[in-house]
Amino acid sequence: MNVTETLNEGLRRKLDVVIPATVLASRLDEKLDEVRGQVQLKGFRPGKVPTSHLKKVYGRSLMSEVLQDSINDTVSKTLEERSEKAAAQPEIDLSEDQAVINRVLDGETDLAFSVSYEVLPPVELMDFKSIKIEKPVVEVTDAQVDEEVEKFFKQNRGYEDKGDAGVVEDGDNVGLSFVGKIDGEPFDGGSAEHTHIVVGSGQFIPGFEEGLVGLKKGEEKTVEVTFPEDYQNAELAGKKAQFEVTILHVDGPKADVELNDEFAKTLGLEDLAALKKAIRDQIEAQNKSLSQQRVKRLVLDALDEGHKFDVPEKLVEAEFNAIWNRVKHEVEHHGKTFESEGTTEDKAREEYQKIAERRVRLGLVVAEIGNVNEITVSDEEHQQALIAEVRRFPGQEQEVYDFYRKNQQALAGLRAPIFENKVIDFIVELADVTDKTIARDELAKLVREGEDGFDIDNDHAH
């Protein structure tokens, strides 16, 4: 076997490889010996078919297997000998001349091909102790807890029918049907035959709940609202809509229920103090989650700033294409345009190209950190992630479980977020971290502003 390097520029490599016909012939003979005892040919006893006859019948098909196996083995061994790791599947370039191919298949000439690939770049890790992080800390006050407890009480104290004469007031649980229209035409998801809304809870579009106040059972009204600009359904965002509403029943809060120990006991808690503690714990858990998201973003920013190296073009191209396909889907199916988003297609491409490069670079850095420091995901952690994913789909648990068990790539994908978070935790332990007291609203805003696609939770570059 002869290997000649013809390109070595940056991360790109190209090799010309020649496998002698004698080597191929030897491997073909080994293949023929393997099948000799398996084939049954008329006129020959099992295992007694002459090699010449086997070659005449199966030679070409077996030689095709030999060629494929030889190419794969040669490329793998060559990279190992060169101490290189390909960033993506190497590209094999074989002759397209049928005459040449026939001569190789017939064992008359050597197999010549070229292999092109990009190598994974060496990653020199920064000193994590040099990273400075201000960890946001949100203090939970008694007033906040009392406010949330009061809100919880209003939502869970129970309701009773106010009768035909009862009018809708703030805090009432209203049963209603509605048909939503935009420019006179009903839209998907804008209708309901019988649903419930607690007036003042902010469950619905701003202005809708307020428009129900004063109505009675059986009354109809057209409520006009405008969907928020950041509404989750981009097709409806910013649009004016009319909802033709019919009140089915009006239930008011039970008057004989008070916020006290007895109310807490109906929830399975010991007393009102236990309810307040449960609410406080919930608020603290939510604040902790927001803080962790912010810290993770700060760590990723620091890693991006502390590691500058070229990344494989093929990996970036694949990442960019994945991002761009989602962008095109938004444009084509949700009525968006680049102009409506304050940009142009060229500028958007340039921005998403930078995002793709950052994602790939961070993926390689995180993978190297885990490798050097022996950070792994245990089978137990992986199983817990699968269970958590299954529980996200009540009523469909078995279907979701079966999907992951049959789809090994999806199952492996559950490891990535766990691995990345363990790497982040490892870095935080070494970094210079100081607490910074911050308001919850301000922290939530910082987290939202960081949701710009730069995170690597969905990337599996390792």
Mean pLDDT to the nearest integer, 397-404 = 92
Q: What is the pLDDT of residue 119?
A: 97
pLDDT over 50 at 461, yes or no: no
pLDDT over 50 at 460, yes or no: no
Mean pLDDT to the nearest integer, 217-242 = 87
pLDDT band at 46 (very low <50, low <70, confident <90, very high): low
Q: For residue 160, give the amino acid letter.
A: E
Rounded CA-CA distance 175/193 in Å is 10
Burial group, residue 16, by CB count within 10 angstroms (0-12, 13-18, 19+): middle
Q: What is the pLDDT of residue 456?
A: 39
Q: Which residue has the tokens 């949100």?
A: 138
Q: What is the pLDDT of residue 41?
A: 61
Q: What DSSP letter does each residue of 22-70 carry, written as one string?
A: HHHHHHHHHHHHHHHTT---TTS-TT---HHHHHHHHHHHHHHHHHHHH
Least confident of 40-49, 213-222, 430-439: 40-49
Least confident of 52-61, 127-136, 281-290, 388-397: 52-61
Q: What is the pLDDT of residue 267?
A: 92
* 324-359 tens-digit pLDDT: 998 888 777 766 678 877 788 899 899 999 999 999
Least confident of 151-165, 182-196, 222-236: 222-236
Q: What is the pLDDT of residue 459?
A: 38
* 259-290 tens-digit pLDDT: 999 999 999 999 999 999 999 999 999 999 99
pLDDT over 60 at 78, yes or no: yes
Q: What is the pLDDT of residue 328?
A: 85
Mean pLDDT to the nearest integer, 427-450 = 92
Rounded CA-CA distance 354/454 in Å is 9
The highest-confidence range among 68-82, 96-110, 336-350, by mean pLDDT, is 68-82
Mean pLDDT to the nearest integer, 131-137 = 96
- Residue ranges and CATH numbers for the domains of the chain are 2-118 (3.30.70.1050), 158-256 (3.10.50.40), 272-449 (1.10.3120.10)
Q: What does pTM read for this prediction? A: 0.75
Mean pLDDT to the nearest integer, 138-154 = 93
Rounded CA-CA distance 246/242 in Å is 13
Q: Is 182 helix (H, G, I), strand (E, B) or coil?
A: strand
* 359-398 tens-digit pLDDT: 999 999 999 999 999 999 999 999 999 999 999 888 889 9
Q: What is the pLDDT of residue 421?
A: 94
